[in-house]
Chain A
Amino acid sequence: MADRNQKLYRVLTRNMVLLVVGVALAPLILTGIVLLSQFQEAYRAKVIDHLAELVQKHSQNIDGFLTDRLANIRVVARSYSVEMLADGQFLRRNLALLREENGGVFVDLGLIDSQGIQQAYAGPFNLAGVNYAEANWFRKARQGEHFISDVFTGLRGTPHFIVAVRQSAEGRDWILRATIDFEAFNALVENISIGQTGFAFILNHLGEFQTKPRYQVTPDRSPNLDFFKSHLKPDRVAVTEKTDQTGRKLILAEAPLKGGEWILCYQQESDDAFAQLHHARRVTLAILLIGGLLIVVVAFVLSRRMVNRIAEANKQKAIMNDKVVEAGRLASIGELAAGIAHEINNPVAIMVEEAGWIGDLLADEDPTSEENLAELKRAVNQIQTQGTRCKEITHKLLSFARKTDPDIHEVSLSEVVEDVIDLLKQKTRYANVEIKADLDPDMPPVAASPSELQQVLLNLINNAVDAIDASGGKVTVTTREDNGEAVFEVADTGQGIPEAILPRIFDPFFTTKPVGQGTGLGLSICHGIIHKLGGAISVRSEVGQGTAFTVRLPVVNRSTEGGS
C-alpha cells in the first residue's frame, strides 16, 4: 500500500513540475524569441540605414570637395589669359591666394602647353620645364574639359593627385594643373570612423587605394570591386555583409565617387557594428537561462513541498478513517451491549426463579418426597442450562469487543456469518424477522481481519433487519465462490431504497433513520473496510420489494498440489 502511494506521489510531483515549468517557460521563451527577432530586425535595419546615411553624407562631402577644387582652378583658368598665367610670379601669387582661401589644400600650380611642357610652375618642388607628354594624366587631361586624377606618386615621389583644366587659346590647348595635398584629402576620409573597427577608404576601379586606410585591410579587394559591377547611381549607397578570407564578418558600405571612377568604401566588423545588439541578445539569453533555471528549481521545490503536504494530509486522513472505523465499531458494540444485556437477563431470571422454587420445595412439609426430589433435580438442571447460556452470550460479546486486530488472517466467511447471526438472534426474534443462512461449505478462505469482517456483516444484517417493518420479513445471507472471488450477499424483504438515494448510501453520515437512532456511519465504514481488503461492495434495491447488498472479496490462493 505504501509503495503504491510512493509511486503515485512521484508521478504527481513529476506532473506538477512539468506543468509549472511548461506553463512558465513557454511564454517566456516565446516572448524572448519574438522580441529578440523583432528587435534584431529593427536594429539591424537602423544600423544599416545609419551607415548608409553616413557614407552618403561623406561621399557627398568628398565629391563636393573635388568639385570645389575643380571650380577653384577653373575660375583661375578662365579669369586670366595664357600670357598672364605663364608668368611664374603671377602663378605664385594665385597659388598663395588659393592656399590661403582653401586651407593649404593646394600644393602647387602649373601651366602646361599642348606639348606637355610645364611652361610655368608655382610650388615647393622644382618642376619648371618638366615634360609631361608621356604622363598618363596629361593624356587624359587633354581629352576632356577637366580632369581629376587618381592618387599617384609621380615625379615628386610623394602621393598626390591632380586637378587639371583645359583651355583653348589661339587654336592651341593648354592645361592649368593643380596638385591636391594627399594628406588633407586623406584626412577627410580617415576621419570617418564609427565604433571600434569602422573606417573608410577610397578605391579606384583597379582596386588601388586612393587614401590610406586606418586599419589593416585584407589584400583581396574583390568584394569591394563587385560594387563596380552593380552600376549604382551616384548618391546611392550599397550596404552588404560579407565574410573575408580570415573568416571575419564585415559590413561594407560603398558609394560611388568622382562620377563612378572611385568608390568610397566603408568597412566595419559586424560584431562591432552590432555590438549593442549582440550585447542585448546575450543579456536576454542570460536572463532567459537564469530565469528558466530559477523556474525549474522553484517548480521542483514547490511541487515537492505541495506533494509532501498532500502525502501528509492523506496520511492524516487514513488515520482519521481508522479512528472513524473504530468509533463505528464501538458504537456497534454499544448497541449490541444493550441487546445482549437483555438477552442475559432472561436466563438469569429463570435461574433466580428456579433457585426460589428450590427454596419453596425445601420449605415444603415433605421436601424429600419423590415428586419433590424429581422437581429439585429438574430445577437444578435448568439452572445449569441457563448458566451455560449466559456464558455463551457473554463470550460472544467479549469476542466482538476485542480490540480491532488489524492483522490479516485467513478467515472463513461462513464462520463469521454464523457468529454474527447468532449475536443478532434476539433482535431478529423480536423484530419478527426470519433469518436464513445459505452457506457454501467449500468456501475458500479470504484474507481479512476477522473483527473487521464481523463488523461489516453486523452492519449489513442490522440494516437488513431494520429495513423490515413490524409485519415481519426475511433476511437471507448467502456465501459462494464466483470466478475466483468470495462473494457474500445480504438480502432482505424490507422497504427498499429509492433510486434517488441509492448513490448516496455509502456517504459518511448519510442516514434515513431519525436523529439519535443511526450514526450514518455503518455503510461508509463497510465500504472503507471492503476497499481496504481489495474487494468491492454493491447494492440492488427495489422500493417495496427489498434490498440486496453484494460483497466480493479476493480469495487466498489455495495450494493446488495434494497437500492438506
Chain B
Amino acid sequence: MIQTMVLLVDDEADFVETMSKRLTKRGLGVLTAYSGQEALEKVDRDGASKVDVVILDVKMPGMDGLETLAALKQKHPLIEVIMLTGHATVESAIEGMKRGAFDYLMKPCNLDILVGKVDQACRKKRLHEAKILQARAEMIALRRGD
C-alpha cells in the first residue's frame, strides 16, 4: 500500500514539528505548512495526487481554517480534510464539517485516534480515485465496442 501522505497545517510551529515527528515514526509521509496560504501553495505545487489528507487547524492568522478548507475543496475536492480545534472554536469545526470536512478533533488530541481517522480518510480518497479510474476504463471500453 502506498504511503499515506499528510499535510499538517498549523501556525503553532512547535506543535507542527513534534506532531510531524510522531506521525513519521508511525509510517506516514508528512508535509508541513504554517499558514493556510502556504498550505494551498504546497498542494498546488506537489499535485493533488500526492497529498491524501490535510490536517487543518481552525484558528490561524491571515487565512483561517474555514477559508483554507473552502479553497481546498474548490480546487481539490478529493483531498480529505480533518479539522483540529481549540475548545473555543467548536462552532467553526462543525461549520467546516457542513462544508465537506471529513471530521474534527479537539486539541490536544490522542495520536492513535488521529492516525485512525487519517487512515479512514485516506481510504475514502483512494477508493474514490479508484472508482474514477474504473469509470474511465469502462468509458473507453464502450467506445472501442468490445
Contact = CB atoms under 8 A, between A and B. Distances in A.
A and B, one complex?
Answer: yes
Interface of A: 338-339, 341-342, 345-346, 348-354, 356-357, 360, 375, 379, 382, 386, 429-432
Interface string B112-136: 0000000000000000000000000
B20 to A, nearest CB: 10
Given A352-B108, A353-B15, A345 B62 contact: no
A346 B15 contact: yes
Contacts of B70: none
Contacts of B108: 345, 348-349, 351-353
Nearest to A345: B86
29 contacts: A338-B88, A341-B87, A342-B59, A342-B86, A342-B87, A345-B86, A345-B87, A345-B107, A345-B108, A346-B12, A346-B86, A349-B86, A349-B107, A350-B14, A350-B15, A350-B18, A353-B19, A353-B108, A354-B18, A360-B22, A360-B25, A379-B18, A382-B14, A430-B59, A430-B60, A430-B64, A431-B61, A432-B61, A432-B62
A198 B86 CA distance: 115
Interface in B98-112: 107-109, 111
Contacts of B62: 432
Nearest to A382: B14
B89 interface: yes
Nearest to B60: A430
The A interface, classified by DSSP as helix, strand, loop or mixed, is helix
Residue in A349, A350, A354 with the greatest tally of chain B CB atoms within 10 Å: A349
Contact of A353 (B18, B59, B60, B61): B18
Given A342-B59, A346-B86, A382 B107 contact: no
Given A350-B18, A354-B18, 14 more contacts: A338-B88, A341-B86, A348-B107, A349-B109, A350-B12, A350-B15, A352-B109, A353-B111, A356-B22, A357-B18, A357-B21, A357-B22, A386-B14, A432-B61
Interface of B: 12, 14-15, 18-19, 21-22, 25, 59-62, 64, 86-89, 107-109, 111
B28 to A, nearest CB: 13
B83 to A, nearest CB: 14
B26 to A, nearest CB: 8
A356 B111 contact: yes
A341 B88 contact: yes
B39 to A, nearest CB: 17
A470 to B, nearest CB: 9
Contacts of A356: 22, 111
Q: Which 8 A-B pairs have the closest CB atoms?
A: A352-B108, A349-B108, A345-B86, A342-B86, A349-B107, A353-B18, A342-B88, A338-B88
Contacts of A379: 18
Contacts of A432: 61-62
Contacts of A360: 22, 25
B143 to A, nearest CB: 50
Contacts of B14: 350, 382, 386
A386 B64 CA distance: 24
Nearest to B67: A470
Contacts of A341: 86-88
A154 B25 CA distance: 169
A474 to B, nearest CB: 15
A342 B61 CA distance: 14
Contacts of B12: 346, 349-350
A353 B109 CA distance: 8
A430 B61 contact: yes
B22 A339 contact: no
A349 B88 contact: no
A312 B33 CA distance: 64
Contacts of B25: 360
A373 to B, nearest CB: 15
Most A C-beta atoms less than 10 A away, residue of B21, B59, B89, B108:
B108
A382 B21 CA distance: 14
A360 B18 CA distance: 11
B136 to A, nearest CB: 41
Nearest to B19: A353
Contacts of A354: 18
A339 B111 CA distance: 25
A351 B15 CA distance: 9
B22 to A, nearest CB: 5
Given A356-B22, A357-B21, A342 B89 contact: yes
Contacts of B15: 346, 349-350, 353
Contacts of B61: 429-432
Nearest to A343: B86
